[in-house]
């Protein structure tokens, strides 16, 4: 382990994703592949951010090795960044980000009011379920 005891990035697999997302307040996942040029050029910015934000888990999914995981999250192009906060996906965007934009995304994600996010999700679920047979009893 590096000084301070924090591993810079965590390799995510189908087997450990649920545990990582469940046990951490905020997890950023980088979907990438070894043959992807933009993925390789984005890697240093991602590593730097992982050292800058020790309270955030920075994870990487190799889409070549974890095709089922990439399929589950409907990853169509790489790199794709996805941010989970309190087990909710609050950000998903394809494309490599410059370091400054990555910092902005992380700061916005940290500043989100998760109670408000949950209220919005609940409202969307209610809107989608209105008028169903089980609600009419």
Active site residues: 36, 39
Those residues whose C-beta lies under 8 Å from the C-beta of residue 75, and which sit 6 or more positions away, are 31, 63, 94
Q: Which helix (H) or strand (E) holds 30?
A: strand 26-32
107 DSSP assignment: H
Under 8 Å between Cβ of 84 and 29: yes
- Residues 66 and 72: their CA atoms lie apart, in Å, by 10
61 DSSP β-pair partners: 31
Under 8 Å between Cβ of 96 and 30: no
Two tokens, residue 130: 């209105």
């Amino acid at each position: 382990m590096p000084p301070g005891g924090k591993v810079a990035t965590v390799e995510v697999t189908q087997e450990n994703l649920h545990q990582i997302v469940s046990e951490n307040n905020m997890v950023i996942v980088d979907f990438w592949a070894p043959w992807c040029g933009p993925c390789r050029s984005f890697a240093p910015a991602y590593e730097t951010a992982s050292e800058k934000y020790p309270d955030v888990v920075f994870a990487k999914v190799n889409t070549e090795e974890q095709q089922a995981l990439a399929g589950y999250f409907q990853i169509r192009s790489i790199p794709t960044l996805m941010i989970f906060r309190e087990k909710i996906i609050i950000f998903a965007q394809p494309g490599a980000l410059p370091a400054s934009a990555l910092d902005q995304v992380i700061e916005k994600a940290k500043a989100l009011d998760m109670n408000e996010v949950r209220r919005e999700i609940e409202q969307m679920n209610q809107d989608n379920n209105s008028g169903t047979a089980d609600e009419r009893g």
